Structures are given as C-alpha cells and as structure tokens.
Amino acid sequence: MTDTALPITVGRAGGFDELARLFEIAFHTTLPAETREAERSIWEPQRSLLVFDGADLVASAGAYTRELTVPGAVVPAAHVTMVAVLPTHRRRGLLTRLMRRQLREVRDAGREPVAVLWASEGRIYPRFGYGLAAQQLAVECTTTELRLPAPTAAEGRLRLDRPAARQAELARVYDRQRADRPGWSDRDDRWWRYVLGDPADQRDGATERRVLLHEAPDGEVDGYALWRSRLSQDAAGACGVTIVDEVVAENATARLALWRLLLSLDLTRRLSYRGPVDDPLLRLVNEPRRLEPRVSDALWVRVVDVPAALAARRYAAAVDVVVEVTDELLPENTGRWRLTGGPDGARCVPTDAPADLACDVRALGELYLGGVGITTLADAGRVAELRPGALAAADPAFSWHRAPAGMGVF
C-alpha cells in the first residue's frame, strides 16, 4: 500500500524536538538532554524531509552536508540520516516516497554525486540503489592473550588529555590522514565538537572519553586514540574493558605505541573496537585469531550521478570500459557509460558502443570505494560480463590500496 495522501514538507528551524520524539519512538530509545542538544547542533532543518499526519510528525529522512573521501579524491556527499517512520504508519510506502524525493533533490541540486549512510538494517536500502561499500571489523576480545612487538628505539612519547582540549591537534592528524582513507567524512569545527562531545548520558557506566596522544621525537602529535574504559570485577578480580572509539596514526611507530598502551591497561582484560577490515592491528598482534574479529556492515553508497561520480574518483590502474547501468529511481543514470582513466584522473561519458559490463546502480555503489572486487560481484551474479576478459581488465582498476572504512555513525 502506498500512502500518497500525506504531503512531504521541509523541516524548519526550531522543529528539532518533534523530530527527536519520532526518533525516540522509532529507535526504541530516549534522547536525554545532553544527547538531544548534541544532535540538535548538527541537524540541518532545510535538508530534513518530514511527513505530518495532522499535527503529528510520522516520518522523516534527513541529510548532512559533508565531504567523503573516495579513492584518490574527496567529493561532496549527502550523508543521509534520521530516517524514521512511526510504527503506526510503517509499511505504507512513506520511506519509499521520502527516499525518492531525497534522491531526486540531491540529483537536481547537482552538487553531490553520491549519497552515503549507515543502515540500521541492511535490508532496508538496496531497493533504493544503495550498495554496501565498506564493511568494518568488530573486535570484542580478551587482551591478556595478545602480545605486540617491542617498541622501536626513537619512539616518541605518549600523553593523556581531555579530547576537547586537543581538538586542533586531533583535527590536524585526522585531516592529514583523511585524504587517503576512502569512507572518511570531513569534520568541520561543529562536527569535531559533536564527535568529541561525549554526553554523560551515553557512557553506559564507562568513564568519560579520553585521548591518548602520540608525540614524535620532535614534539609533533602524529597519532591519537579516543577511548574510555569500564571497570568490572569477577570472582578472580578486576576485568575491565577498554573501549576504543578511534585510532588515527600517521606512521607505524605511533600506531604501535598507541596499541601497546591500549592493550595493556592495568585492571582491564578486554577490548572493544571497530576498525577497517584491513586494520593493521590484525598484523601487529602475535595471535590474530584472539582478536576474535567479526565483519559487519559499515557504509552504504548510492551513486546519484553516474558520470559525475565515476569521473570524480581515481583508479588504481588504467581503465577503459563501457558499463551498461540500470537505475529505476533516477532514470538519467540508465544507459551505457564509457569510463576511461587511471591513477591521475578519469572521464565518464555516454556512449553507443557495445557494453563490456552490465550492472545496476546498487552494484556501482558497492564498487565505488574500492571495497569489493568487480569479480566478486560478478560471482554473486550482480555484475554481468558481456565481453570476455572485461572483468579481469577492470577489476584491478576499481580496487584501492586501502580498504574503505566508515569513521563514526552519523
């Protein structure tokens, strides 16, 4: 059943509290005051699409205006968020209408070639052309079984501080790394305040968040970790958990020093951490299986403008391929596109030439950050090879030297 009776309206400044109420019901939660203020601080009312039934807000879909690192480039990307439909109004097509409207607006504005999101459930977004572009490694492990290599001689030093006091240094390290980390989003001052905000009502019995900084021998900060801990006791004594939210290191020395401390904190026995699927931690510890890594979903990418998106990223090897794309929601994307390029740049133009490969727009989203091979998608029946050899030729070009990773749910 499709509910076309209720109109879609645009959010207004001052309207956050009714959105918060919808969010609380749809996500089975309460937003205590501090968290609510943090969410309000980043909300963009003009990008908030809302559906009212009488006076009641019953559905929403929003977006943040941010940049996303993609292989070899940084592109504007609609960061889709706050998607919720009231239980009394679900499965009537409201989300479908909101997604169509949102994609149409992003496309027509012509500024953002892709949209990106973290999904609460993986089955919601493929029908709207979103592909799972980045996975993450979830680590919940016992640290006492793990050993790291000895530090190198000129290691630098570690310092502890309050994250907010070090925002400028964290931003510098993050920005230097961001350029080559597909899936990371930019953080302006407002976003840094949000990321470092650490509302007391969200700590779930753990400490406030701390920052561990690594300083190179010349005193420059070249790595940091945001972490907190939660102490607990069992019959044998203290068995706290170290909860690591973010590790950003500019070199192997800094990374090793940070992890050596995080994995060996007194009174802790366990670690909780989310990282990229190619996280160097897997290569640092002496017993990788003891990290008990689990792969789960991270970023979903929706290619909104096929030629603009494909031309915006870089390719690891020379590529010259004609792709036949289908897109039910944004028909301008449907057609044959010739992509040429390589590590220094790319072009993507419409063509009448025969296609080498065929796929839907969701598969393009999956491929976009270089997190999965075209051959893998072909093996899953999601990309068709129309010219023998086309897959093997295109596969190395679409890959990237770093696995994509999402940096924080938005």
Ligand X SMILES: CC(=O)SCCNC(=O)CCNC(=O)[C@H](O)C(C)(C)COP(=O)(O)OP(=O)(O)OC[C@H]1O[C@@H](n2cnc3c(N)ncnc32)[C@H](O)[C@@H]1OP(=O)(O)O
As annotated, the active-site residues are: 125, 410
Least separation in angstroms between CB 306 and ligand X: 22
Amino acid at 88: T
Q: Which stretch binds ligand X (CB under 6 A): 91-99, 108-116, 198-206, 263-271?
A: 91-99
Least separation in angstroms between CB 38 and ligand X: 16
Q: Does 80 bind ligand X (CB under 6 A)?
A: yes
371 is in an annotated binding site: no
94 is in an annotated binding site: yes
Q: Which stretch binds ligand X (CB under 6 A): 82-90, 192-200, 345-353, 365-373?
A: 82-90
Q: Which stretch binds ligand X (CB under 6 A): 79-87, 248-256, 282-290, 319-327?
A: 79-87
Least separation in angstroms between CB 406 and ligand X: 12
Least separation in angstroms between CB 364 and ligand X: 19
Amino acid at 108: D
Choice from 15, 45, 76, 93 touching ligand X (CB under 6 A): 93
Least separation in angstroms between CB 44 and ligand X: 14
Comparison of 318 and 409: residue with beta carbon closer to ligand X: 409
Q: Does 96 bind ligand X (CB under 6 A)?
A: yes
- Nearest residue to 309 (alpha-carbon basis) of 397, 371, 368: 368
SS (H, E, C) the chain: CCCCCCCEEECCCCCHHHHHHHHHHHCCCCCCHHHHHHHHHHCCHHHCEEEEECCEEEEEEEEEEEEEEECCEEEEEEEEEEEEECHHHCCCCHHHHHHHHHHHHHHHHCCCCEEEEECCCCCCCHHHCCEECCEEEEEEEEHHHCCCCCCCCCCCEEEEECHHHHHHHHHHHHHHHHCCCCCCECCCHHHHHHHCCCCHHHCCCCCCCEEEEEECCCCCEEEEEEEEEECCEECCEECEEEEEEEEEECCHHHHHHHHHHHCCCCCEEEEEEEEECCCCHHHHCCCHHHHCEEEEECEEEEECCHHHHHHHCCCCCCEEEEEEEECCCCHHHCEEEEEEEECCEEEEEECCCCCCEEEEHHHHHHHCCCCCCHHHHHHCCCEEECCCCHHHHHHHHHCCCCCCCCCCCC
254 is in an annotated binding site: no
Comparison of 46 and 120: residue with beta carbon closer to ligand X: 120
Comparison of 15 and 280: residue with beta carbon closer to ligand X: 15
- Nearest residue to 185 (alpha-carbon basis) of 77, 93, 105: 77
Comparison of 90 and 336: residue with beta carbon closer to ligand X: 90
84 is in an annotated binding site: yes
Q: Does 84 bind ligand X (CB under 6 A)?
A: yes
Instruction: Find out whether 270 and 141 touch, Cβ atoms under 8 Å.
Output: yes
338 is in an annotated binding site: no
Q: At what angle do helices 16-26 and 33-42 cross, to 10 degrees?
A: 120
Comparison of 85 and 133: residue with beta carbon closer to ligand X: 85
Q: Does 27 bind ligand X (CB under 6 A)?
A: yes
Q: Does 8 bind ligand X (CB under 6 A)?
A: no
- Nearest residue to 263 (alpha-carbon basis) of 225, 223, 219: 225
Comparison of 21 and 314: residue with beta carbon closer to ligand X: 21
Choice from 57, 63, 78, 83 touching ligand X (CB under 6 A): 83
How far is 257 from 214, CA to CA, in rounded Å? Answer: 7
Least separation in angstroms between CB 360 and ligand X: 17
Q: Does 115 bind ligand X (CB under 6 A)?
A: no
Q: Does 266 bind ligand X (CB under 6 A)?
A: no
Comparison of 28 and 283: residue with beta carbon closer to ligand X: 28
Choice from 49, 63, 70, 94 touching ligand X (CB under 6 A): 94
Q: Which residues ranging from 126 to 165 are in contact with ligand X (CB under 6 A)?
A: 127
Q: Does 117 bind ligand X (CB under 6 A)?
A: yes
Q: Does 123 bind ligand X (CB under 6 A)?
A: yes
Q: Where does this chain bind ligand X (CB under 6 A)? A: 26-27, 80-85, 90-96, 117-121, 123-124, 127
| Residue ranges at the known binding site | 83-85, 91-96, 120-121
| Residue ranges at the known binding site for acetyl-CoA | 83-85, 91-96, 120-121
